[in-house]
Amino acid sequence: MKIGIICAPTYGGSGVVATELGRFLARRGHQVHVISTAMPFRLDAEPADEIFFHEVQTVNYPVLPGDLAGISIAGKTVQVAQDYKLDIVHAHYAIPHAISAWLARETSPSTPFKVVTTLHGTDITLVGRAPSFFPIARFAIEHSDAVTTVSNWLKDETIREFGITTPIHVIPNFVDISKFKRGLAPCRKSHYAPKGEKILMHMSNFRPVKRVQDVIRVFHKVLQEMPAKLLMIGDGPERDGAYMLAKELQIGQHVYFLGKQEHIENFLSCSDLMLFPSEYESFGLAALEAMSSEMVVIASRGGGLPDLINDGVDGYLADVGDVDTMACKAIEALRDDDRRKRMGQAAREKARSQYLPEAIVPQYERLYESVL
């Protein structure tokens, strides 16, 4: 098949899922064309012969506020669809990508590709913050040839929010366990913890929903009980607030703000515990990658995370905002090396048994085939 993938290039789960899917589809013999406003940060990790990147050039007009990204994406999609005779255009996010895909198809009836839309969660919250998007998002969902979500929780939220009656397929995210594996990647643990301190880690796009200040508060409580360091990987609007809180709590010297990192597997392989206190996660790809790396993840019960983590078996769950419980669980896990190792092994086994790309990617292939 000839497959177009429209995605965001930003440091977040949807872009990672889209580019990883594209890479594995290319490995399986499909011709894949990634369409985005910039190079997705994982796309060039392992070049494949049958995966191509098409950069969208956005246009700004002084007479109009903002940019015309959605229109620009549609225009680029028309061009790619005509040049390469695409069979499928897979849009990650309803707004603007599914709308752009639909507009491209309507503009170019000579290339009647099918539109598949994957919802990642912001599609729903965007409507909550800007109700004017409701009819557009619903239109994008209902006019897609197939719709998927990354968790049962997100499927239920989509049906509740939009009253959707068309079928929604749940296809979870996946992880490459050969890449996210403890001891495989270079580890610089002695650089961050020269005295053998425990290393805690958080990774996100630092949006408000990630509750990164809760990460700092949990770490502050852990630090009162044992020597430790915290790696904060990623960037976003909440970064400065987290930085100032660490200074205020006088723990800034123990916290490394490392920004966006290309090879996060290097950090996962030398960290002891992941803090993931999000208000909600549609799935929690970063948590899955940590689990594949045999890390104990302490997460909130928000959204789809309880589907991923079995509390007390392969990780820990706490209520959203319950910093005290998260800190207690972190201290408990860090003090008992044997138990933490057993839980880490159970976490990797879950990744291996339920979330391999060899099991998930064919589900997308069957969906593509069903709509063609």
Chain-centroid distance, C-alpha 245? 26
The pLDDT of residue 11 is 60
The pLDDT of residue 67 is 67
Residue type, 282: S
The pLDDT of residue 188 is 76
Alpha helices in the chain (DSSP H): 13-27, 69-84, 99-107, 122-129, 134-142, 152-162, 189-192, 212-223, 239-248, 265-268, 285-292, 305-308, 323-335, 337-354, 357-371
The answer to whether 367 and 88 are in contact (CB under 8 A) is no
Q: Dihedral angle at the C-alpha atoms of 279, 206, 16, 189, nearest 10 degrees?
A: -110
The pLDDT of residue 275 is 97
Q: What kind of fold does domain 2-174+356-371 have according to CATH?
A: Rossmann fold (3.40.50)
Residue 146 and residue 111: Cα distance in Å, rounded? 18
Q: Return the structure tokens found at 80.
A: 């790619």
**Positive/negative CA dihedral, 128, 133, 135, 137:** negative
* Cα dist from 77 to 36, 89, 125, 183, 226, whole Å: 10, 8, 26, 41, 54
What would the DSSP string read from start to end of 311-332?
A: BTTTEEEE-TT-HHHHHHHHHH
Q: One digit per residue, pLDDT tens: the chain, 372 residues? A: 999 999 988 766 777 889 899 999 999 999 999 999 887 766 765 556 688 999 998 776 666 666 678 888 999 999 999 999 999 999 998 888 999 999 999 998 888 899 999 998 877 766 656 788 888 889 999 999 999 999 999 999 899 888 888 899 999 999 999 889 887 766 678 889 999 899 999 999 899 989 999 999 999 999 999 999 999 999 999 999 999 999 999 999 999 999 988 788 888 988 999 999 999 888 889 999 999 999 999 999 988 899 899 999 999 999 999 999 999 999 999 999 999 999 999 999 999 999 999 999 999 999 999 999
pTM, whole model, 2 decimals?
0.89
The answer to whether 333 and 228 are in contact (CB under 8 A) is no
DSSP-derived 3-state class of residue 131: helix
Q: Where in the chain is the domain with CATH 3.40.50.2000?
A: 2-174+356-371, 189-354
The pLDDT of residue 65 is 61
The pLDDT of residue 183 is 77
The correct answer on CATH 3.40.50.2000 for the domain covering 189-354 is yes
Chain-centroid distance, C-alpha 78? 27
